[in-house]
Amino acid sequence: MGPTGVRLRVVCDTNTVVSALLFQQGRLSWLRGAWSAGTVVPLVCRETVEELLRVLAYPKFGLTRGEIDDLLGDFLPHAEVIALSPDDWPACRDEHDRVFLALAKHADADVLITGDADLLAVADAFSVKILTPAGFKDSLGFGV
């Protein structure tokens, strides 16, 4: 649970989810544990799941379809699916990052977790808190 004992609803960009899924002993492995334990509830939409599937299929990861399915099975059952309309998506330097802003805003997320410079660049002006994974971990009191 978050600092107040409430389950935090979070949007994680694709790189954050991929790192948490693929590198079980990596610096974001705690995030996988947080969604598995119900401390956080990841928010997804059709577009973010499609991008996650596309990225997990990159040849550099060398994953079989079965391995991808297993990884998705460690993530998607913990996620809340939000239906998005492509109307009125917030502006961002990287057009592909707009979906994460739209999802966070539309779902009234507690936090958008990202290491992406284009998303972090709008943090001060955006209605939802945008934090790096380390900043989010620190806000939970887990330390870095």
Write the CB contacts of 49 (distance below 8 Å, at least 6 apart in sequence).
76
Q: Which of 35, 24, 26 is nearest to 2 (CA)?
A: 35
CATH architecture of 8-139: 3-Layer(aba) Sandwich (3.40)
Query: Would you state the structure tokens that stand for residue 10, as one six-digit string?
Result: 């979070």
Computed on alpha carbons and rounded to an integer, the radius of gyration of the chain in Å comes to 14
Query: Would you state the structure tokens that stand for residue 133, as one six-digit string?
Result: 């994974």
Question: Which pLDDT band holds residue 2 (cuts at 50, 70, 90)?
Answer: very low
Backbone angles phi, psi at 113, to 5 degrees: -105, 125
Q: Which residues sit opposite 113 in a β-bridge?
A: 12, 131
d(CA 29, CA 22): 9
| Residues of the chain above pLDDT 70, percent | 87
Segment 9-27 mean pLDDT: 93
Question: Which pLDDT band holds residue 142 (cuts at 50, 70, 90)?
Answer: low
Distance from chain centroid for Cα 29: 13
d(CA 108, CA 77): 20
> In this structure, what is the dihedral angle of CA atoms 58, 62, 64, 67, given to the nearest 10 degrees?
-90
> pLDDT tens digits, residue range 63-90?
999 999 999 999 999 999 999 877 666 6
Question: Which pLDDT band holds residue 140 (cuts at 50, 70, 90)?
Answer: confident
Within 10 angstroms of residue 96's Cβ, the number of other Cβ atoms is 13
